[in-house]
């Protein structure tokens, strides 16, 4: 198989940052800084006409002054200077240029659109591939390339191609909190040359990428993209957020990435037919990514739920059912087991979802809810099991810590057996700064960290869990 | 106006906790502890046959041994003993009994249902009013009565009647993080005597309660309740979460509060017709409560949005529109003002939602986005304005702190002028324990605390803000 045209972008032996400024507030400065911070092992060449040093690195007045070859260029100079730069890139043998440079077609100005066209023609003539313009480029933790501050340095299974740099930055920060790590992330802006189909195909064949997520505002070539999407969903899940769905969104897309948003209805149908998963918000996409990265295939709708009091059980029943699951009755053999262990519960009061609060205190203390969760996870009556962490109990500090610690230990133990898809609902709260020191929120955050470290999906709400896991079900039923 | 029958429950001069245990893990112990912790100023009488002291208080072997009168009883003894207790309550002149005691009709056992019936007959005979059984009772920060740990001690505008103790506990904890405070909260369980209509009517006429929220599993008398609901929504907003909507939920409701869940379709239509606001999850209810407590009436759909980059603008356009708002174009007079201040932005690139990232850096630094938000908030072209905090920027620490501090100060200043409904979207993240020490999450939590202290609604996501504020619009358009 020939090397994919994006291999150079993701594995460059040397990178030049053209227009690297000493202004610490500028993007060009931060691109250089990130290469150092994230530990990029290739050669780094900052291009700056007037300074001789930047962040301890020797700078060069122009590309042609660099003694060695350059694989990859991050371009931060104003748009009108790009055609000349491409000429220099050609002479230097550069293969891929990331155009951070913006203010092109997205401005709506005719002269900017003409300039963009000229840039494309130049690149085509020289056989140089472009990422962008008007984008943040590449985050590749494995190579030590990044476009954002405080991104994780260790890689993971999620590959992303996002038309918006801001959306990708926000996604990486907030998904990281949920435990997600990334293989390769591409922010690709106006998609002048390399487009959504190229990025999709690259991530499709990339062995490091197990799950793909994309934020798209437009499609350059619908037929080609949908064909590639169908091929990709046969081998790995693809989650798509199509932005620019309505009147105002379409207008906003034009001034953002100059894309034609197109009719969302048509998009929606076409994307769903390929087996890709369509989501509507960034938060829904994060939940879906957590689910696809960590859950085994979910193949049926029969859900068993344990944990929390009566209200939580009723809410769980409603919200799982409304998301498309069947909250099936507790099977007789589990009921018999419960009666054996707790003779006081001899009749059929206990149901699915299991309301732990109706059990005698002795049963709580001895971890009966964990025992029921284990039985459910081993029972052929359920396709997946859900543990609600009991944040709704009328507990004081010591009681809550003891009880929830028990729940979490049981979940970890059941998860180790990998008998069935297992997920957790635990809301750690939207904290104000004063809440950071309160034992309750510290304790819940600790539990979340423990569960997440074991790659058990944790969702803040029942509805989010149900919606996200239904996406997994939909994917595996189709593929 | 005669005193409402619930006045005694909310303003008792003395409270007896019957069955007060010295077991620190028991609910009865915690009821006594809460009266001390929350600063209840009346007399507290723990009833315990074998001990003479509890938490420093003198205990009594029975109600009749108490030298003074008793207004209110919290009953924690097993159900079979309740009829005898009611006899004693009658002799002692007790007006209201909160039956924490459960294991009655909700168990599904015939003998328990018969006992519940007997309890009701006794109470009726003696003219004693019952809250419960199978419930947590009352949280009244003003009086220092509580059923939960770590509830706020200062009162606020939200009154609640919740059929589930767990749901009310969870609501109070998580809504508190959002800045909500409470007038009176009632967890009422099986609603044997006093029911949803009684609690609604009480909160309806209660001057401390400005907004009402209810979690209901069933209705005892639909006609009476809907009539009271219609009367209440004419004076204050009522938010209702009807739980037990589907097959599994109906089953779960029976084993929780022994209520008949009824057909949700019929409920849905009837409740909507009264002008009450129907929500589907506890989280949606918290968002709605924040909105109703803090926003002025929202009277139109024209929304102006400022803050964040291009992707955030597109997403905002989509999500506000999909929630029922009109993301109207930026009016020419604001465009002219922008051109005056930033001559480089002379053409019509800037739109609503305003993508601050396309502006020259000098404009950012001088706070142009705050200026645009102010212009929008004073413009007759908008009915409400939304500030997205720029968490999606490619900022390093210093840049992010400077930029967002500027945004927040501008929002506070605009909010002080109270020209128009104003809300903020800011996601402080679902933190793990390791994130508690990171400057980013501490900084964002500080901003949230600052905004919340000024009673500006802060929502973690665009979609949550849009959905919640649409509830406010719906309410004020009907009433």
> Model confidence over A105-120: pLDDT tens digits?
999 999 999 999 999 9
H helical segments located in A73-109: 82-92
Chain A residues 360-379 with a CB less than 8 Å from chain B: 361
Interchain pair A149, B394: CB under 8 A: yes
Same domain, A244 and A315: no
Arithmetic mean of pLDDT, B53-65: 96
Interchain pair B433, A445: CB under 8 A: yes
- Specify the pLDDT at position B2: 56
For A36-76, what is the HEC assignment? HHCCCCCEEEEECCCCCEECCEECECCHHHCCCCCCEEEEC
Close Cβ partners of B121 (under 8 Å, ≥ 6 residues apart): none
Q: What is the distance between the alpha carbons of residues A35 and A144, in angstroms, rounded to a whole number?
A: 6
Chain A residues 97-156 with a CB less than 8 Å from chain B: 102, 106-109, 136, 147-150
Interchain pair A321, B247: CB under 8 A: yes
Arithmetic mean of pLDDT, A434-447: 97
Same domain, A200 and A79: no
> Residue B337: helix, strand or coil by DSSP?
helix
**CATH number reported for the structural domain that contains residue A447 in this entry:** 3.40.50.261
Residue B357 has pLDDT above 60, yes or no: yes
- Specify the pLDDT at position B413: 97
Nearest alpha-carbon partner for B440 in A173, A458, A171, A148: A173
Q: What is the DSSP code string of A326-373?
A: B-PPPPHHHHHHHHHH-GGG-STT--SSB-GGGS-HHHHHTTHHHHHH
Q: What is the distance between the alpha carbons of residues A462 and A404, in angstroms, rounded to a whole number?
A: 18
Q: Locate the chain B residue with the closest alpha carbon to A438.
A: B150
Residue B347 has pLDDT above 90, yes or no: no
**Is the CB of B383 inside 8 Å of chain A's CB atoms?**
no
Close Cβ partners of A56 (under 8 Å, ≥ 6 residues apart): A36
Interchain pair B243, A391: CB under 8 A: no
**Is the CB of B455 inside 8 Å of chain A's CB atoms?**
no
- Specify the pLDDT at position A357: 87
Q: What is the distance between the alpha carbons of residues A97 and A128, in angstroms, rounded to a whole number?
A: 7
Q: Locate the chain A residue with the closest alpha carbon to B253.
A: A314
Residue B311 has pLDDT above 70, yes or no: yes
Burial class (CB in 10 A: 0-12, 13-18, 19+), A419: middle
Interchain pair A396, B147: CB under 8 A: no
Q: How far is A208 from chain B (nearest CA, A)?
A: 25
- Could you give the C-alpha distances from B262 to A319, B315, B398, B472, in angstroms and in order? 17, 38, 57, 27
- Specify the pLDDT at position B217: 96
Residue A363 has pLDDT above 50, yes or no: yes
Q: Locate the chain A residue with the closest alpha carbon to B446.
A: A433
Interchain pair A243, B313: CB under 8 A: no
**Is the CB of B461 inside 8 Å of chain A's CB atoms?**
yes
Same domain, A309 and A192: no
Q: How far is A302 from chain B (nearest CA, A)?
A: 12
Q: What average pLDDT does the structure give for chain A? A: 95
Residue to substitute from A166, A186, A216, interface B, most B β-carbons within 10 A: A166
Close Cβ partners of A246 (under 8 Å, ≥ 6 residues apart): A264, B317, B318, B321, B322
Among B107, B132, B157, the domain boundary falls at B132
Arithmetic mean of pLDDT, A312-322: 97
Same domain, B280 and B332: no
Nearest alpha-carbon partner for A408 in A439, A373, A447: A447
- Specify the pLDDT at position A365: 67
In the structure, what pLDDT confidence band is assigned to residue B361 with cuts at 50, 70 and 90?
Answer: confident
Interchain pair A165, B255: CB under 8 A: no
β-strand pairing of A57-58 with A137-139: unpaired
Same domain, B281 and B330: no
In the structure, what pLDDT confidence band is assigned to residue A2 with cuts at 50, 70 and 90?
Answer: low
Q: Which domain covers residue A141, as residue numbers?
A: 135-294
List the single residue in A178, A351, A433 with the smallest CB-CB distance to B442: A433
- Specify the pLDDT at position A262: 75
Q: What percent of chain A has pLDDT above 70?
A: 99
Interchain pair A178, B244: CB under 8 A: no
Q: What average pLDDT does the structure give for chain B? A: 95
**CATH number reported for the structural domain that contains residue B102 in this entry:** 3.40.50.720
Arithmetic mean of pLDDT, A402-408: 94
B191: left (phi over 0), alpha (psi -120 to 50) or beta: left
Chain B residues within 8 A of A318 when measuring between CB atoms: 243-246, 248-249, 280
Same domain, A290 and A302: no
Number of CB atoms found within 10 A of residue B361's CB: 11
Tokens 């929202």, residue located? B298
Q: Locate the chain A residue with the closest alpha carbon to B146.
A: A394
Among B115, B132, B149, the domain boundary falls at B132
In the structure, what pLDDT confidence band is assigned to residue B1 with cuts at 50, 70 and 90?
Answer: very low
Per the model's pLDDT, the better-predicted residue between B312 and B6 turns out to be B312
Same domain, A339 and A360: yes
> Residue B470: helix, strand or coil by DSSP?
helix
- Specify the pLDDT at position A1: 47
Same domain, A140 and A157: yes
Interchain pair A167, B392: CB under 8 A: yes
> Model confidence over A72-91: pLDDT tens digits?
999 999 999 999 999 999 99
Chain B residues within 8 A of A245 when measuring between CB atoms: 318, 321-322
pTM: 0.97
Nearest alpha-carbon partner for B324 in B427, B461, B468, B425: B468
- Total number of domains in chain A: 3
- Specify the pLDDT at position B106: 93
> Model confidence over A15-53: pLDDT tens digits?
999 999 999 888 999 999 999 999 999 999 999 999 899
Arithmetic mean of pLDDT, A395-406: 92
List the single residue in B174, B393, B463 with the smallest CB-CB distance to A281: B463
Chain B residues 308-337 with a CB less than 8 Å from chain A: 308-322, 326-329
Q: What is the distance between the alpha carbons of residues A307 and A350, in angstroms, rounded to a whole number?
A: 12
Same domain, A156 and A267: yes
> Model confidence over B407-418: pLDDT tens digits?
999 999 999 998
Dihedral through CA A6, CA A100, CA A116, CA B311, nearest 10?
A: 100
Interchain pair B312, A167: CB under 8 A: yes
Chain A residues within 8 A of B322 when measuring between CB atoms: 245-246, 280
Arithmetic mean of pLDDT, A327-331: 96
Q: What is the distance between the alpha carbons of residues A361 and B440, in angstroms, rounded to a whole number?
A: 42
Residue B208 has pLDDT above 90, yes or no: yes
> Model confidence over B253-299: pLDDT tens digits?
988 888 887 788 888 899 999 999 999 999 999 999 999 999 999 99
Among A230, A261, A294, the domain boundary falls at A294
Interchain pair B310, A257: CB under 8 A: yes
Q: What is the distance between the alpha carbons of residues B308 and B300, in angstroms, rounded to a whole number?
A: 24
Burial class (CB in 10 A: 0-12, 13-18, 19+), B59: buried
Interchain pair B397, A355: CB under 8 A: no
Same domain, A110 and A228: no
> Residue A175: helix, strand or coil by DSSP?
helix
Same domain, A39 and A64: yes
List the single residue in A168, A255, A321 with the smallest CB-CB distance to B351: A255
Same domain, B140 and B125: no
Strand partners, B459: B425
């Amino acid at each position: 198989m020939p090397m994919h045209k994006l291999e150079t972008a993701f594995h460059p032996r040397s990178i030049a940052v053209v227009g690297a400024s000493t202004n610490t507030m500028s993007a060009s400065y931060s691109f250089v800084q990130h290469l150092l911070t994230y530990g990029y092992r290739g050669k780094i060449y900052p291009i700056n006409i007037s300074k001789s040093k930047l962040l301890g690195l020797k700078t060069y007045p122009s590309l042609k002054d660099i003694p060695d070859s350059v694989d990859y260029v991050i371009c931060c100079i104003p748009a009108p200077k790009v055609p000349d730069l491409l000429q220099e890139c050609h002479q230097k043998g550069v293969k891929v240029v990331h155009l951070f440079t913006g203010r092109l077609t997205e401005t709506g100005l005719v002269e900017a659109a003409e300039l963009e066209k000229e840039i494309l023609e130049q690149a085509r003539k020289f056989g140089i591939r472009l990422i962008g313009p008007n984008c943040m480029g590449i985050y590749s933790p494995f190579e030590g390339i990044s476009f954002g501050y405080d991104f994780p340095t260790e890689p993971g299974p999620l590959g992303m191609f996002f038309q918006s740099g801001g959306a990708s930055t926000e996604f990486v920060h907030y998904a990281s909190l949920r435990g997600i790590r990334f293989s390769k992330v591409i922010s690709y802006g106006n998609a002048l040359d390399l487009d959504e189909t190229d990025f999709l195909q690259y991530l499709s064949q990339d062995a490091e990428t197990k799950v793909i997520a994309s934020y798209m505002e437009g499609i350059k070539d619908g037929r080609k993209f949908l064909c590639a999407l169908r091929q990709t969903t046969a081998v790995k899940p693809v989650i798509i957020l199509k932005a620019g769905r309505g009147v105002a969104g379409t207008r906003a897309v034009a001034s953002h990435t100059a894309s034609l948003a197109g009719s969302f209805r048509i998009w929606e149908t076409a994307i769903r037919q390929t087996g890709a998963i369509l989501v509507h918000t960034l938060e829904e996409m994060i939940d879906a990514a957590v689910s696809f990265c960590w859950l085994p295939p979910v193949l049926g709708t029969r859900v068993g739920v344990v944990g929390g009091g009566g209200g939580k059980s009723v809410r769980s029943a409603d919200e799982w059912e409304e998301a498309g699951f069947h909250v099936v009755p507790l099977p007789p053999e589990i009921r018999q087991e419960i009666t054996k262990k707790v003779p006081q519960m001899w009749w059929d009061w206990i149901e699915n979802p299991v309301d732990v609060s109706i059990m005698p205190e002795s049963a709580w203390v001895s971890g009966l809810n964990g025992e029921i969760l284990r039985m459910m996870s081993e029972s052929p009556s359920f396709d997946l099991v859900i543990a609600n962490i009991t944040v709704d109990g009328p507990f004081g500090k010591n009681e809550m810590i003891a009880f929830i610690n028990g729940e979490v230990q049981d979940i970890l133990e059941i998860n180790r057996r990998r008998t069935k898809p297992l997920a957790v609902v635990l809301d750690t709260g939207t904290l104000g700064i004063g809440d950071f020191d309160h034992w309750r929120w510290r304790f819940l955050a600790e539990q979340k960290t423990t569960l997440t470290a074991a790659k058990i999906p944790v969702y803040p709400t029942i509805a989010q869990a149900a919606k996200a896991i239904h996406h997994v079900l939909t994917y595996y039923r189709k593929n």
